[in-house]
Structure 1
Amino acid sequence: MIAIPATEARQQWARTLQIAHREPVTITQHGRDSVMILDAEVATRALAALQDAEDAAAVDAAREEMAGGAPTVSLDELAAELGIVVD
């Protein structure tokens, strides 16, 4: 990964974009990381992976909350309890 000061990135914008297509470019301001430029395809895949991870974490949390010690029953057991005949 490469870091470029904001002034240099602005002055050499075309070069900065060329580099960003090959690898992430961190733009710094006053010596501190400010923003990152990524190839659009890489950024799209990274955001999709992040969304998938967040969704999986939400599912895990919901399962844990639902399980919270409550007993589970099979569909057949539930049907029998409700008096429903399942073929």
Structure 2
Amino acid sequence: MIGFDNNAKQQLKSLVDKIDRLLEEKSHVEEALRETYAEAKAHGFDVKILKQVLKLRSVDPKELEEQDALIDLYRDILEV
């Protein structure tokens, strides 16, 4: 078994405590997101589309423009 000095033990305990707190916060954030999506749905918004729009907001505008152009091209070719 690997031995740890007191400093390493304290660091490990501190890291585990921090991870526990972050996981708890993550759980609360995930629940808040579920509730917010449910609220959006209750107001008549399409949650699937809302999630897509949120994802698009994180894409570089130039990259998004290129993707849109390719989508238009492919749709024209496939007559979709």
Task: Classify the TM-score, shorter chain.
Answer: 0.3 to 0.5
Q: Which has the higher helix share?
A: 2
TM-score (norm 1): 0.38
TM-score (norm 2): 0.41
Q: Which has the higher strand share?
A: 1
